[in-house]
Amino acid sequence: MSNGQTPTTAEVRKKAFDIIQQLNSKLCVDFRIRDTSAELYGKNIEIASGYDHPKTASDNPIITIIASEHQSLDDAEKSLKHEVYGRYALNTHSPRDKGELLKKIIASKNEPSLKETWTFIETWHPNATPERQAEEVFATIAESHDPAKNKSLRQSRSLAQSSRKTLTAEDLNNEINCLAEGIASGIRTLKTTANEQAETQQDTTKTFIDNLSSWRQKNASRAEEVETSSVDFSPS
C-alpha cells in the first residue's frame, strides 16, 4: 500500500504483530484494532486512540487503534509506537521512577530539541496536568523509535534514576531504547496501573483526549480486542 492511503485493519494488525516480534513476544498488552469506531460503539464518533491502564496488576493494558482515522500505514505505525514504546514502556517504571522522569521532562520545556513537541502538546492538551503533558511528549518522541537504528545506543540505567535535572530529545530516544531492550529481555514489565497513576500524578483530568493523530493529520482511535500479546488477523 502507498503512503497517503487509509490502511486496512489487516495492515495495522501486521504492524502490531511486527512490534510484538521486535519485543520478543514479551509485550503484555491486549490490542483492539477496528476499521471504524462504529464497530465498537455502534456509531461513528471521534474518539481517542490509546492506552487504557489496567485496573489491577493482573490485567493487561489495552491499546486501541481505528484504521480509518489514519492517513497512511506509516501514520498508524506511529500510533502503535506512541502507545507501545511511549505509554506502555513508560509504565514499566515504578510509579515513583515514572514521576521522577516526568519531572525532568517538564523541566526541559525550553530545551531546543523538545520545545516544538512541548508547544504542540500544550496546544492540543491545554487542560491536562503537566505530568500528563510530559507523558505525551515522551510518547510523541517514541513515534520515531527505530529498533534497527537504535541497537547501537547503550544506556544501562534509566534516566529516572540519574542526577540529571533536564533532558534532550536524544536523551529521551536513549531512554526509549533502554526501556524497549528491557521489555524484550523480559526484565521490564508493567509496574504502573490506573490507580497508581492517579495517586502518583494526581491527574484530575476527567476526559483527556489523546488526539495523537492530530500531530500528523487528523486523529486516532479505538478498535478490536484481541488475544493478549498477539494480533488477530481474522476479518473484522
Q: What is the DSSP string of 168-192?
A: -HHHHHHHHHHHHHHHHHT------
> Average pLDDT, stretch 74-81?
95
Beta bridge partners of 44: none
On whether the pTM is more than 0.85, the answer is no
From CA 64, how far away is CA 234, in angstroms rounded? 16
Could you report the per-residue pLDDT of 183-213, keeping only the tens digit for each? 999 999 998 776 655 444 433 222 333 344 4
Q: Considering the chain, what is the average pLDDT of its residues?
A: 80
Torsion sign across C-alpha atoms 189, 213, 222, 194: positive
Could you report the per-residue pLDDT of 121-150, keeping only the tens digit for each? 999 999 999 999 999 999 999 999 998 775
235 burial type by CB count under 10 A (0-12 exposed, 13-18 middle, 19+ buried): exposed
Torsion sign across C-alpha atoms 158, 26, 231, 21: positive
Q: Is pLDDT above 80 for 215? A: no
Could you report the per-residue pLDDT of 82-126, keeping only the tens digit for each? 999 999 999 999 999 999 999 999 999 999 999 999 999 999 999
HSE-CB of 100 using CA atoms within 13 angstroms? 13
- With cell 521489555, the residue in question is 183
Beta bridge partners of 51: 63
From CA 146, how far away is CA 129, in angstroms rounded? 29
